[in-house]
Amino acid sequence: MDFLKDLWNYLKERKKWWLAPLIIIFILIGVLLILGGTSLAPFIYTLF
Amino acid sequence: MLLRKNKIKRALLYTLYLVIIVILFLEIFLRFYYPFPRSLTGANWEMAVNRTFTLHNDLNKRLDAVIVNHRNSIGFRGEEPPVDIENKLSILTIGGSTTASSFISDGKTWTDLLGEKLKKQCPKVWINNAGIDGHSSYGHLNFLYYYVARLKFKPKVALFLVGVNDIDRDDLTVVDSSKYTSSAFSTAWFRRHSKTVSFLYDVKWIIHPVHVYNDKQNWDFKDFKSIHLEKAYIDSALKKQDVILQRFRERLTKIIALCRQYKIQPVFITQPLVTGDGTVNGGNPNIDLHVWNDTENGLLFWKKLQLYNNVTMQVADANKVFCIDLATQMPKDTLYFYDIMHYTNEGSAKVADVIYNALTPHLTKDGVNF
């Protein structure tokens, strides 16, 4: 959490807002990898 | 004022930049790595292939502590399709969660056990479980049309365990085959072209299994809320099924036509529930009164399902399709069910027995060399 706070402060102070998508993308990669590894992944109900 | 306007403009432009970059990235990344076992992007089915999922179950002692689901190279549960599949008696089991048996480990599902039994009599049997959680007859039709049709081989026999996921589904009113083209979906274009949109749909449905898995009331027959329903309420709930039943009938007829077009022999199986005979199970509260779907009970759910099972048998009869009445042959015993409709390991073995006993004479009569 501190790391994210530091990153936010860095973007704010240096005004490097164009870097924000990169950070969001890295977070998304993490979330996707976690989702793929979760044991609930095969139990998606499609209700189709 | 001008400064403020510029500030808003810059903020909007920046948000747009952020959204575009992130969506672009997601589109690219999800094409290389899709975290879920299957996706439906418009009409394009994609199944997780060659993957093993392991669930550590600490909620229900009546199920295995470690549940393993392996998906083969075509995304189904079971053996790989052999090279000489055309010389095999290839069978697919198609249905919703009661077929998929996601909480039953590989080798213990009714499909696996049925396969074992059939192979003892006929070594050339090859069977796979193509069940998909939550699928109704609409889903089966779509699955046949867009996935099975594109497989390199067509199974010789398809067993359909249908009914329970069609109950109350008044949103599934489409029966025309033209509707199975992707343009029938309101968000078709995006789902067909965008992995991100497809992914968001899957994320939405992830909430559902988490709910099913965590809902202890579904899992415990000793401790649940009971609900009594007035006859007028029951009659009204059954009456509401009329239109849905007609659509169900039309879809089953279409499934038969589609199977015959692909030279697949369809076999229908009616769907059992643990509720519906009014027994007081081992001194526990009467499970027929088990609250189901918040406002109804197990008995009403069974009464509804009976309507669908009757249609399944009628359609089979009218179209000369073999139908196994599992619903009446399956004992209503909590030993065999871990909730109102899903089978335990013992239940899976019982289902396999019933289907095997009915199917073998039929296949023999039909000229299959046992």
pLDDT digits (tens, 9 = 90+) for B99-158: 999 889 999 999 999 999 999 999 999 999 999 888 899 889 888 988 898 899 999 999
B298-318 and B231-239 helices, crossing angle to 10°? 30
pLDDT bracket for residue B301 (50, 70, 90): very high
Q: Which residues of chain B are at the A interface, by a Cβ-Cβ cutoff of 8 Å?
A: 14, 17-18, 21-22, 25-26, 29-30, 33-38, 40, 48, 53-56, 69, 71, 97, 102, 132-136, 138-139, 142, 165, 202-203, 205-206, 208-210, 212-213
Predicted confidence (pLDDT) at residue B207 exceeds the cutoff of 60:
no
Which site among B19, B55, B71 would you substitute to test the A interface, given the most A Cβ atoms closer than 10 Å to its Cβ? B55
Specify the higher pLDDT residue, B359 or B12.
B359
The pLDDT assigned to B176 comes to: 41
- Residue in A closest to B95 by C-alpha: A48
Predicted confidence (pLDDT) at residue B228 exceeds the cutoff of 60:
yes
Predicted confidence (pLDDT) at residue B214 exceeds the cutoff of 60:
no
How many residues are present in chain B? 370
Specify the higher pLDDT residue, B278 or B44.
B278
Give contacts of B38 with chain A, Cβ < 8 Å: 44, 46
The pLDDT assigned to B181 comes to: 44
Partners of residue B53 on adjacent β-strands: B69
> Region B268-295: what's the mean pLDDT?
80
Question: What is the signed CA dihedral for B259, B261, B262, B267, rounded to 10 degrees?
Answer: 20
pLDDT bracket for residue B285 (50, 70, 90): low
The pLDDT assigned to B179 comes to: 44
pLDDT in tens, A1-48: 788 788 888 888 888 888 888 888 888 888 777 766 665 555 555 555
Tokens of B87: 């010389």
Contact A44 B205 (CB under 8 A): yes
pTM of the model: 0.80
The distance of B25 to chain A (nearest Cα, Å) reads: 7
The pLDDT assigned to B185 comes to: 46
> Region B208-222: what's the mean pLDDT?
55
The pLDDT assigned to B277 comes to: 78
CA separation for the pair B87, B306 (Å, rounded)? 38
Matching residue, tokens 């044991």: A39
CA separation for the pair B47, B45 (Å, rounded)? 7
Q: What ipTM does this complex have?
A: 0.73
B241-261 and B231-239 helices, crossing angle to 10°? 40
Question: How many other C-beta atoms can be found within 10 angstroms of the C-beta atom of residue B352?
Answer: 22
The pLDDT assigned to B266 comes to: 97
- Residue in B closest to A46 by C-alpha: B134
> Region B230-235: what's the mean pLDDT?
95
Q: Is B42 left (phi over 0), alpha (psi -120 to 50) or beta?
A: left
CA separation for the pair B177, B85 (Å, rounded)? 29
Q: Does A19 touch chain B (CB under 8 A)?
A: no
What is the average pLDDT score of chain B? 85
3-state secondary structure B19-42: HHHHHHHHHHHHHHCCCCCEEEEC
The pLDDT assigned to B282 comes to: 55
pLDDT in tens, B315-356: 999 999 999 999 999 999 889 998 889 999 999 999 999 999
pLDDT in tens, B32-85: 877 766 655 545 677 778 888 887 777 777 889 888 889 899 999 999 999 999
